[in-house]
Amino acid sequence: MPCWMHIFPYPVRFATLLSVIRMITMEKLMTDCLFCKIAAGEIPAGKVYEDDDVFAFKDIHPKAPTHVLVIPKMHIATLSDCDDPAMLGMLMDRVGTIADDVLQLAAGYRVVINVRAGGGQEVFHLHAHILGGKKLPF
């Protein structure tokens, strides 16, 4: 009869424990997160676009005639927490598609990502603001 401690040596069991803790932490963050709830349809929002990876909706306090937020469906608290270049590339690709094809901002638009409290971030789920519909001062 093989001993399970030989089949799953200490480093493997430690890694398993870490991934379970990470899953529980992520679950807790997602259940507490306003934008995760919006993406899941648990809180109503003015949806403008959705696919498997992103959800886009109207900002509740618009700072321009068109003001849309684009979020990854995966919970990432802030830009500096994301170490996945493919995910960031995908997000920027969708931002461009939504701005041009869905919102029809042919005259142009601005994309803003506020990072952490000092950068003005209030909701800690990564999101890109798309602002347009008027000439934007800088």
> Which H/E stretch holds residue 92?
helix 85-97
The reply to whether 6 belongs to the active site is no
- Our finding on whether 121 is near ligand AMP (CB under 6 A) is yes
According to DSSP, residue 41 is labeled T
- Closest CB 83 distance from ligand AMP, rounded Å: 20
What DSSP designation does 123 have? Answer: S
Strand partners, 58: 68
Q: Which of 67, 75, 125, 127 is catalytic?
A: 127
**What is the pattern of x (binds ligand AMP, CB under 6 A) and - over residues 26-65?**
--------x----------x-----------x-xxx----
92 binds ligand AMP (CB under 6 A): no
* Residue (105 or 126) nearer to ligand AMP, CB: 126
C-alpha–C-alpha distance, residues 106 and 80, integer Å: 30
Residues 6+ positions from 103 with CB-CB distance below 8 Å: 48, 66, 68, 109, 130, 132
Among 67, 75, 127, 129, contact with Zn ion (rule: CB under 5 A): 75
State CA 67 to chain mean position distance: 16
Residues involved in catalysis? 127
Name the residues that contact ligand AMP, by CB under 6 A: 34, 45, 57, 59-61, 69, 114, 120-123
